[in-house]
Structure 1
Amino acid sequence: MARISSEQADRLPVSERHIVALDIDGTVLSHGFGGAGDDALGGHIDPDLAEAIRALYLAGHEIVLSTGRSVDATIPIAERLRIRPEWMVAANGAVTLKRDPLAHRAYRREYVEAFDPSDALKKIRTRLVTASFAVELADGGFLYTQPIPTGTLPSEQRLVPFEKLLGVQASRVVVVSPDHDLEEFLDAVSTLGLTHVSYAVGNTSWLDIAPDGVTKASALDVIASRMGIDRSRVFAAGDGRNDIDMLRWAGRHGDSAAMGQAVPEVQAAARRVTGTIEENGLLAALRERFPEVLGA
């Protein structure tokens, strides 16, 4: 792989830049390795993959981490990759971050989509009575009814009764129901008739709810417009149900790849399927898409 100096990063004309939108968990980051590169947020980033992402960044392409994680859990991944992207998408598209040019490591919340989650929460609670409920607030705080064990949520958290989740301005709602297996969970969610919200169910019994029409794809579309990059020069990769809209959007205009371990409906949303996270599938997809930077 060719080494590219940081001075080259600004030399690529806008007409030649690509947006490279990357999901984090299960795409860039794998879990359970426990190696020296793992940190408190959990997970392992393959060194060759990290080098490839950094090479694309230094070549002048726009790397956009696009994740369901909170802001607090997204920025450290960029730091581990040793990149400072201009844009990042958190909370499944509800929060879009922009790098602050006046501060070395700071990002500001450029766009925040918020909604009142009361109706959705009340409806879900009638079917999933033993579930844990949480709300990520528009200002970045996090209210929860029972602890949710994950490193992808905000650091500022507060235990509250269910009623305190109602009537707030939320960027997303999280519902976790370990008492239900995935099939039961999917069946319950399908019968809820949720309206005026966007939602995605994870590979475990985990439900993320965002404001109506807000997805990773909607956030990336705004970023592409702001940067003046044609949608035909967008590449996206992901592995979860919350990536479906992003993969379809990118594939419709440009290119998209689903990870090999993704469920069939996620794979069907992408233009192509790459290897699993264990097979370093993202690295293979990036090399195929950007041979001029990464080699075949």
Structure 2
Amino acid sequence: MTTTDHTPAETGDASWLVALDIDGTTLHPDGSASDAVIAQVRRLDAAGHQVLLATGRSAAATVPVLEHLGITPQYLVCSNGAITLRRDPEAPGGYRREWVESFDPTDVLRSIHTRLGDARFAVEDVHGCYRYSAPFPDTAIGLDSEHVEFVEFEELLNQPAARVVAVSLDHDLQDFLAVVERMGLRRVSFAIGWSAWLDIAADGVNKATAMERVRRELGIPRERVMAVADGRNDIELLSWAAERGRGVAMGDSPADVIEAAGELTGTLHEDGLAKVLATL
């Protein structure tokens, strides 16, 4: 494991593809970004690097962040890779859905519901609308949508979903992890957040698969990709970037996230993102 203070990148005139997680990496819990982070993001964007967001947030909760950062990238990876947006000035908000990965959530929902009867569920459909079985905690991040509906659990089934989110208020993280492991989920991809939170997408879909498709579309070599992130839903993304480019974990990331990355930067409150961006 190296630190960003000791690994400046040799970029020359070649542009890099830079994928930034939002919460805990780019933005503080209050939704703000530091002046140092904003300055570095804008510098790289102005220099011709492809700086974009790769987040677990919904599309509706991702696009507003761009105004704060002052960039309009060609692509945005949302919903942990299930939805990729493409810049379209004529579309509402300036972006349209380019790729959407969906699956039938019925089996997964029933499996979780059987083992975590107290869990609260949200299902995001292919249009970015959310159906909830019960209200989520106020601390839930990134599930914003203009179209929200509360329904009975059975109404969440048998309809194509971009992702399923399950939150258990009665389990601590370790208990929740143990229950999830006993489920032996198949045919879906899932990530555990900082709390008792399960985020499920179609089989093989994650931030890394979405970013690889974006990379191919932009024609940027694998050797010039960087990802900076801090959560367990970023493990595949960091591993993908570190394989031939640069995967950078924030300093306060969980141990398994740090292990997946090739580099370690400072914490959010130490402007770790700004420090690593300054090396490009």
Q: Tell me if both proteins adopt one fold, taking TM over 0.5 as the criterion.
A: yes
Match of 1:191 among 167, 176, 182: 182
Following TM superposition, where does structure 1 have runs of at least 4 consecutive aligned residues deviating by more than 4 angstroms?
101-105
Distance 1:173 1:88, change over 3 A: same
Superposed CA offset, 1:74-126 (max 9, x none): 00111110110101100000000000154695101000000000000100111
Letter in 2 for 1:286: L
1:111 maps to what in 2?
99
Match of 2:221 among 224, 230, 234: 230
3-state DSSP of counterpart to 2:278: helix
Distance apart, 1:17 and its partner CA: 1.4
Q: Which has the higher contact order (CA 8 A, sep 6+)?
A: 2
In the alignment of these two chains, the number of paired residues is 265
Letter in 2 for 1:54: R
Letter in 2 for 1:278: H
Distance apart, 1:154 and its partner CA: 2.9
> Counterparts of 1:219 and 1:54 in 2: how far apart (Å)?
23
Match of 1:129 among 89, 95, 117: 117
2:52 maps to what in 1?
64
Letter in 2 for 1:261: D
Task: Report the TM-score, using the length of structure 1 for normalisation.
Answer: 0.87
Distance 1:16 1:212, change over 3 A: same
Distance apart, 1:197 and its partner CA: 0.2
1:23 maps to 2:11: no
Letter in 2 for 1:123: S
3-state DSSP of counterpart to 2:269: coil
5+ residue gaps, structure 1, are 1-14, 32-41, 291-296
> Counterparts of 1:198 and 1:65 in 2: how far apart (Å)?
20
> Counterparts of 2:166 and 2:261 in 1: how far apart (Å)?
27
5+ residue gaps, structure 2, are 1-12
1:49 maps to 2:40: no
> Counterparts of 1:281 and 1:106 in 2: how far apart (Å)?
29
Question: Does structure 2 retain, via aligned residues, the 8 Å contact 1:140–1:154?
Answer: no
Q: Residues 1-296 of structure 1 correspond to what in structure 2 (within 5 A)? A: 16-31=14-29, 42-102=30-90, 105-148=93-136, 149=138, 150-155=140-145, 156-288=147-279, 290=280
Question: Does structure 1 retain, via aligned residues, the 8 Å contact 2:63–2:93?
Answer: no
3-state DSSP of counterpart to 1:243: helix
Task: Report the TM-score, using the length of structure 2 for normalisation.
Answer: 0.92
Give identity over the alignment, percent.
48
> Counterparts of 2:238 and 2:260 in 1: how far apart (Å)?
6
Distance 1:103 1:159, change over 3 A: closer
Superposed CA offset, 1:230-285 (max 9, x none): 11100000000000000000000200100011100000000011111011111111
> Counterparts of 2:180 and 2:94 in 1: how far apart (Å)?
38
